[in-house]
Amino acid sequence: MIEEIHLQVLRIIESNPEITQRELAKSLGVSLGKTNYCLKALIEKGWLKANNFKNSNNKLAYAYILTPKGIEEKANITVQFLKRKLWEFEALKEEIEQLRREVGEVAGD
């Protein structure tokens, strides 16, 4: 589960490096505290860098940048996520087919 949120964070930041933590939290549907925790974890792992810059309101802000290691890990997590979703999809198709057979038996097909 944590890998899934890390993947979401990396994907969002890759497309919008100047996103604020508040905006990121809203996009993820999690608290600001959890977002901050995830960002710190990704920075500690060396997957993400935070660069200071001044935004238009003369406040200090951050631009988040995926490191080469972060890009590589994002690809690895994406592959694992895709494999898991394909397995879940196949299991769901099998379950749907079983339910159809059961309903067919009850309906007298």
Domains of the chain: 2-81 (1.10.10.10)
What's the pTM? Answer: 0.75
φ, ψ of residue 29 to 5 degrees: the values are 75, 35
Q: Which residues in the chain show pLDDT less than 70? A: 1, 53-60, 107-109
| Number of neighbours of residue 70 by Cβ within 10 angstroms | 22
- Which conformational region is residue 58 in: left (phi greater than 0), alpha (psi within -120 to 50 degrees), or beta? left
pLDDT digits (tens, 9 = 90+) for 47-71: 999 887 666 565 567 789 999 999 9
Q: Which two tokens stand for residue 84?
A: 């898991």
Whether residue 96 contacts residue 44, with contact meaning beta carbons closer than 8 Å, is answered with no
